[in-house]
Structure 1
Amino acid sequence: MGTWDIGPFDNDTAADFAGDLDEAAVEKRESMIRGVLGRAADRAGFLDAPDAERAVAAAALVVAQHPDGEPVCANYGPSEPLPEFPADLRTLAIDALDQVVCELSELAELWGDAENGPKWRQDITRLRDVLDPPTPPQDEAFFDI
Structure 2
Amino acid sequence: MGTWDIGPFDNDTAADFAGGLDDAAPGERAGLVRAALERAARGPEYLDDDEGVEAVAAAALVAAQCPGSGAVTTAYGPAEPIPELPVELRALAVAALDRVVAEESELAELWDESDSDGEWRRGIRALREVLEPVPPVT
Give the TM-score normalised by structure 1: 0.91
Please name the residue that 1:59 is paired with: 59
Deviation of 1:135 (Å): 4.5
Q: Distance in 1 between matches of 2:109 and 2:134?
A: 25
Q: Distance in 2 between matches of 1:58 and 1:79?
A: 14
SS at match of 1:67: coil
Query: Deviations 1:56-90 (Å, cap 9, x if unpaired)?
Result: 00000000011122221330000001110111110
Please name the residue that 2:99 is paired with: 99
Kept after mapping to 2: 8 A contact 1:40/1:100: yes
Please name the residue that 1:26 is paired with: 26
Please name the residue that 2:3 is paired with: 3
Query: Is the counterpart of residue 75 in structure 1 residue 75 in structure 2?
Result: yes
Q: Distance in 1 between matches of 2:73 and 2:39?
A: 23
Kept after mapping to 2: 8 A contact 1:111/1:117: yes
Query: Is the counterpart of residue 111 in structure 1 residue 111 in structure 2?
Result: yes
- Which contiguous aligned blocks of 4+ residues in structure 1 show a shift greater than 6 angstroms? none
Query: Deviations 1:68-124 (Å, cap 9, x if unpaired)?
Result: 222213300000011101111101100000000000000001101110000000000
Please name the residue that 2:48 is paired with: 48
Amino acid at match of 1:63: A
Amino acid at match of 2:64: A
Kept after mapping to 1: 8 A contact 2:8/2:60: yes
Kept after mapping to 1: 8 A contact 2:9/2:74: no
Structure 1, unpaired ranges of 5+: 139-145
Q: Distance in 2 between matches of 1:73 and 1:107?
A: 23
Q: Distance in 2 between matches of 1:136 and 1:86?
A: 24
Kept after mapping to 2: 8 A contact 1:43/1:99: no
Please name the residue that 2:16 is paired with: 16
Please name the residue that 2:120 is paired with: 120
